[in-house]
Chain A
């Protein structure tokens, strides 16, 4: 297989293998993790008999491989489950039901994804503006005071954990200055304006962490580009310094910035745990931490598969974009 379709197919096959192994790893790890799932689900004061009933109900007594087989079956052909009063069908790809709430994992994922996306995509705009802007400025103004200040600011972003930045931002901006309401997730479809206002601080906090990476990358690639021969060509033809920087040097940095961006977005969809927790955004990351703590295995597996999927997708997208942006690269 060659060319773009071949590339997509190879990536897809690779992704499936990766996701499969990922689900096995999660099953095994959480199998050996302490925590009596049935007891946790049943409640702390449940009697052994009751715990046993719950374990049966959730198939927790089956051997690991049987449980995993059920999971696979659900993914491939779907499965039926009982709500007590009726039997429901969970269509393939069915990731099972939460031990805790009985909700279908796919439903939970669909509910959480928009939140995580809202957070990450908005933050992306800010980190790109901030990071690339800083990078351009610091490549341009190398060694000057403005560059050092900017670099220090972005580094402070890396150095300070998000929960500190976020909380201090909230205390100052929402509490003391009362410039913004305390963030509270609003669906984009309900009220786009409120959606944006409420997410502004989470966006900023998340973006501040990532911006420094983009600043560094932009600066490094721009300096690399500026040292290249074609820059000399344009200077030798009287093209102004501004045009050289913005048109040529920055263009040289775009491929790697786009690639880093795709990868960052991919990992942040499920990885912005702390930001989601701090700001109370009901996204994938927050749900994952909750599920891990109560050993809600179906939810954990489902969420990890989703986040893993996005990481893999992001890497593939990064490659495609990188190749598209830098036509010299051939997809392999």
Chain B
């Protein structure tokens, strides 16, 4: 009997059908990835396996059997016995998935005691035990820490420990590494892999990242609009996708080894940072988010800035546009030192939700730079905004719409249009595509490239995703803890990195091919062992 048997599953929220007649099964000890973009219904499926839609008003149809329990008909009590004991779930955001108020060990002990009739003390011992198994150093002591005292990777390890505690047959991992840095992501994926081999449990991985799937599972199921698009062994599907959508998805994934078509990086220097340092906090708590960084961006050129969280790349970007003043050093615009904001240097923000005022129409937002410049003629403003909307690939008539009426990619386009309205000479893009689905990502990246060529913009492209950066950049700056680690032409940095950190970063990038993924995993293990 298979571990998971899903037949003709439908989940409806109100009028929206999130999952539409999905069937699949998972054998004992096997690993399956549900891959899809946002809105494909993949997380809904994961929830349905544990009956988490019960009592929420969602209508669930079809049948779901997990480890011998019919989730649809099981009593609440039976469902509780399934959850955690036979099938355990790991969630996307490890910080918010743990109760901030209790020690991690206690939380693990608590869920363990739901299923095992043991004393409090024994449960705590068990917690330390599993924490140790997921590689938390000094587990007995760290078990007493609260979630915020853990780093992101450690939190995800702790969640895995919580899942392990009940020795489940099935691990459901819902985007387990999405919120993590690439090196940490690699470690977690390695850990999941190791645990699977050790315990023989089955894995259902839900992810938007084909690379992550490639690293971790045997079979893959591509979803779109609640339906299965394609399924099969991961190697086969990735190597030779049968469906056009799958192909489209794969094509959109940026490759870290893809060379960029050369661009004429010969223009004059537009923006320059010389020896900038930026401190936050005062007194003993002061720390430098950016320390002694010097970069230049020329007209028509793209400077990629990569780094993991805490590397100082966003701070650098904000200094470049003048939203932050450097503590030491200076920012030069066209050769002259410059402080404060400057309409000629604009920014595109990461989060398309928070970068537009939800209470103002997008047209008004785009018109801001025009009005600020003193333009009063309403007709001219509307005309110019319409032009800009069109330029970024939106409808002229969208002037009076509000941000929530747009998708993420469209909102990012609005953000670009607003930046363009100021007629900038330099554009700093802070993680402009990291919140977007891969297909959308590719479109936005393409748009930026087009605009750059057309307007001769100097672009600064800040991202944590090495592949995307490579795709767009002429030169690359690798940052770590506020400092420049490596700085040079993109191909040089990517193909023959000098610094060990750069190498480590590159090694952590998931590969789309399961075989090379396995090779790289082995390679990663070696330095770890050494």
Chain A: residues with CB nearer than 8 A to chain B? Answer: 1-2, 228-230, 232-240, 243, 247-248, 251-252, 254, 325-328
Contacts and interface: CB of A to CB of B under 8 A. Distances in A.
A254 B102 CA distance: 13
Interface string B61-90: 000000000000000000111111100110
B98 interface: yes
Contact of B91 (A229, A239, A247): A229
23 contacts: A2-B285, A229-B97, A230-B98, A233-B97, A233-B98, A235-B52, A236-B89, A237-B83, A237-B114, A238-B79, A238-B82, A238-B83, A238-B85, A238-B111, A239-B80, A243-B110, A247-B110, A248-B101, A251-B101, A252-B101, A326-B100, A327-B149, A328-B100
A237 B99 contact: no
A238 B114 contact: yes
B148 A328 contact: yes
Contacts of B146: 327
Given A237-B83, A238-B115, A230 B283 contact: no
Interface of B: 50, 52, 79-85, 88-89, 91, 93, 96-102, 110-111, 114-115, 146, 148-149, 159, 162, 166, 283-285
Given A233-B91, A236-B88, 9 more contacts: A229-B91, A232-B91, A234-B110, A234-B111, A236-B89, A237-B89, A237-B162, A243-B110, A251-B99
Contacts of B101: 248, 251-252, 254, 325-327
B83 A248 contact: no
Which applies to chain B's interface (DSSP): helix, strand, loop or mixed?
mixed
A327 B101 CA distance: 7
B100 A327 contact: yes
Contacts of B162: 233, 237
Given A228-B96, A229-B96, A230-B100, A239 B111 contact: yes
A247 B83 CA distance: 19
A234 B80 contact: no
A237 B100 contact: no
Contacts of B80: 238-240
A324 B398 CA distance: 49
Most buried by B among A233, A240, A248, A252: A233
Nearest to B86: A238
A236 B82 CA distance: 9
A233 B111 CA distance: 10
A243 B109 CA distance: 14
Contacts of A239: 80, 110-111, 114
Contacts of B84: 236-238
Given A2-B285, A234-B111, A327-B148, A248 B99 contact: yes
Contact of B88 (A232, A237, A325): A237
Nearest to A235: B52
Contacts of B83: 235-238
Contacts of A229: 91, 93, 96-97
A2 B99 contact: no
Q: Which 9 A-B pairs have the closest CB atoms?
A: A237-B84, A238-B83, A238-B80, A237-B111, A229-B96, A238-B84, A230-B99, A236-B89, A251-B101
A228 B93 CA distance: 11
A115 to B, nearest CB: 36
A327 B284 CA distance: 20
A230 to B, nearest CB: 5
Contacts of B115: 238
Given A2-B283, A229-B93, A236 B100 contact: no
Counting chain B CB atoms within 10 Å of each CB, the highest count among A1, A228, A230, A240 belongs to A230
B206 to A, nearest CB: 13
Q: Which of B81, B89, B100 has the most CB of A within 10 A?
A: B100
B151 to A, nearest CB: 15
Nearest to A255: B101
Interface centre among B83, B99, B159 (most CB of A within 10 A): B99
A233 B101 CA distance: 14
B107 to A, nearest CB: 8
Contacts of A251: 99, 101-102
A326 B82 CA distance: 32
B283 A1 contact: yes
Contact of A232 (B52, B82, B114, B166): B52
A234 B285 CA distance: 36
A254 to B, nearest CB: 8
A197 B526 CA distance: 74
A228 B98 CA distance: 10
Contacts of A254: 101
A240 B110 CA distance: 11
The residue in B96, B149, B283 that gathers the most chain A C-beta atoms within 10 A of its C-beta is: B96
B82, B111, B149 — most chain A CB neighbours (10 Å)? B111
Interface centre among A238, A325, A327 (most CB of B within 10 A): A238
B37 to A, nearest CB: 21
Contacts of A248: 99, 101
Contacts of B99: 230, 233-234, 248, 251-252
A233 B98 CA distance: 7
Identify which of A1, A254, A328 gathers the most chain B CB atoms within 10 Å of its CB: A328
Contacts of B89: 233, 236-237
A230 B101 CA distance: 11
A233 B50 CA distance: 11
Interface centre among A232, A235, A247, A251 (most CB of B within 10 A): A235
Contacts of B284: 2
A241 to B, nearest CB: 9
A141 B238 CA distance: 50
A327 to B, nearest CB: 6
Contacts of A2: 283-285
